[in-house]
Amino acid sequence: MTTSNGTAGRDPRGLAGRTAVVTGGAQGIGAAVVERLCAEGAQVLVYDLSAEHGEAAVARWRERGHAVSLAVGDVTDEQALAAAFAGLPDDWPAPTLLVNLAAGFVFKGIEATEADWRGALDPTIVGLSLATREFLRHLPEHDADAAIVNMASISAHIAQRGYLTYNTGKAAVLGFTRCMAQDLAARGVRVNSVSPGTVWNANNERFHREALGLDRATAEADPEHGGKFLLGRFADPSEVAAPIAFLLSGDASFVTGTDLPVDGGYLAV
Ligand SMILES: NC(=O)c1ccc[n+]([C@@H]2O[C@H](COP(=O)([O-])OP(=O)(O)OC[C@H]3O[C@@H](n4cnc5c(N)ncnc54)[C@H](O)[C@@H]3O)[C@@H](O)[C@H]2O)c1
């Protein structure tokens, strides 16, 4: 079969053998994305601030036979980003998949200082832009299969008390995604975002235990916490990785410029 985008005869999901870059891939949702992409047959460059978590995760993945490389750096550091892309293994094809997950976790209201705002917005928006620019520099000029997924959040869509800095950054991710989708469409690059609800990763597990005294089952039974989602629970990281893999894949070949809520129905009501 010949298709108008020239994908005749290709693996319909199209991720096997391709190179992906995942910022913030050393832990949490990012680590689940790396595992999912590896399971689909991609090779992955993890770009992360944490050498400790990155090295441990990459060692674990390599033991399982996954093709994973690590570059330690901040998404706001142009030189480190350039070095990371330049240092990709020679036998990997140029990256055509990018997942921007690194973000500034600063939760402040209007009392936020300049430093707070920079801590929130620099990684979430400036870093997102710099990582995307570096990715585009290495992308073949015409690639009908290239795709970018940016990490938004339900926080991009709603107001949450005391979350001014974080939610402003996540709302900007939606605007960034739409503009990039328009600018890159002619190059064949699709750009989308996902908006998860609360994901049960190590940090959230620690927060609920230490700050609220709640284990997962108790927190999910609470209408203020997991109970606020229509499905009555938190997401597992793999449940966010799966829709990201879909948006990167050929199955989403006519999807661009949009946001996919992965929120257990939270934004529906
Ligand atoms: N966990 C949730 O409930 C949830 C919900 C919605 C959206 N999100 C978003 O998902 C993404 C991942 O969140 P998570 O909860 O899995 O986080 P996490 O803290 O488990 O992992 C984040 C990773 O990003 C890395 N990182 C942080 N700042 C960086 C920087 N400046 N440069 C490079 N790497 C950096 C960290 O070292 C870490 O490995 C974030 O964008 C977050 O806003 C999370």
* 12 domain residue, yes or no: no
* 128 domain residue, yes or no: yes
**Do 64 and 181 reside in the same domain of the chain?**
yes
| Residue 26, both tokens | 């050393």
Q: Which of 47, 163, 166, 266 is catalytic?
A: 166
**Do 91 and 178 reside in the same domain of the chain?**
yes
In the reported structure, the alpha carbon of residue 23 is separated from the centroid of ligand 1 by a whole-number distance in angstroms of 9
* 64 domain residue, yes or no: yes
**Do 126 and 90 reside in the same domain of the chain?**
yes
**Do 227 and 109 reside in the same domain of the chain?**
no
* 145 domain residue, yes or no: yes
* 117 domain residue, yes or no: yes
Nearest to 198 by CA among 237, 169, 172: 237
Give 65's Cβ-side CA count (13 Å radius): 3
| pTM for the whole structure | 0.95
**Do 72 and 193 reside in the same domain of the chain?**
yes
**Do 83 and 215 reside in the same domain of the chain?**
no
| Residue 221, both tokens | 């039974």
**Do 204 and 194 reside in the same domain of the chain?**
no
SS3 142: coil
Distance (Å) of CA 49 to CA 53, 67, 221, 227: 9, 20, 34, 33
DSSP state at residue 123: I
**Do 137 and 189 reside in the same domain of the chain?**
yes
**Do 112 and 227 reside in the same domain of the chain?**
no
* 13 domain residue, yes or no: no
* 71 domain residue, yes or no: yes
- How many domains does the structure of the chain reveal? 2
Distance (Å) of CA 153 to CA 20, 107, 116, 174: 22, 14, 19, 9
Of the chain, the end-to-end C-alpha distance in Å amounts to: 42
Nearest to 96 by CA among 174, 32, 184: 184
**Do 169 and 185 reside in the same domain of the chain?**
yes
Strand 19-23's sheet: what is its strand order? Answer: 68-72, 43-48, 19-23, 97-100, 147-151, 190-196, 259-262
CATH code: domain of residue 97: 3.40.50.720
Give me the percent of the chain exceeding a pLDDT of 70: 94
- For 32-52, the pLDDT digits (tens) are 999 999 999 999 999 999 999
> 164-184 and 128-138 are packed helices; what angle lies between their axes, rounded to 10 degrees?
20
Q: Name which residue sits closest to atom 36 of ligand 1, judged by CA.
A: 24
The reply to whether 166 belongs to the active site is yes
**Do 76 and 175 reside in the same domain of the chain?**
yes
In the reported structure, the alpha carbon of residue 75 is separated from the centroid of ligand 1 by a whole-number distance in angstroms of 12
* Residues lower than pLDDT 50 in the chain: 1-10, 12
Q: Is 204 in the pocket of ligand 1 (CB under 6 A)?
A: yes
Question: Which domain range does residue 212 map to?
Answer: 200-234
**Do 123 and 220 reside in the same domain of the chain?**
no
Q: Is 261 in the pocket of ligand 1 (CB under 6 A)?
A: no
- For 120-153, the pLDDT digits (tens) are 999 999 999 999 999 999 998 876 689 999 999 9
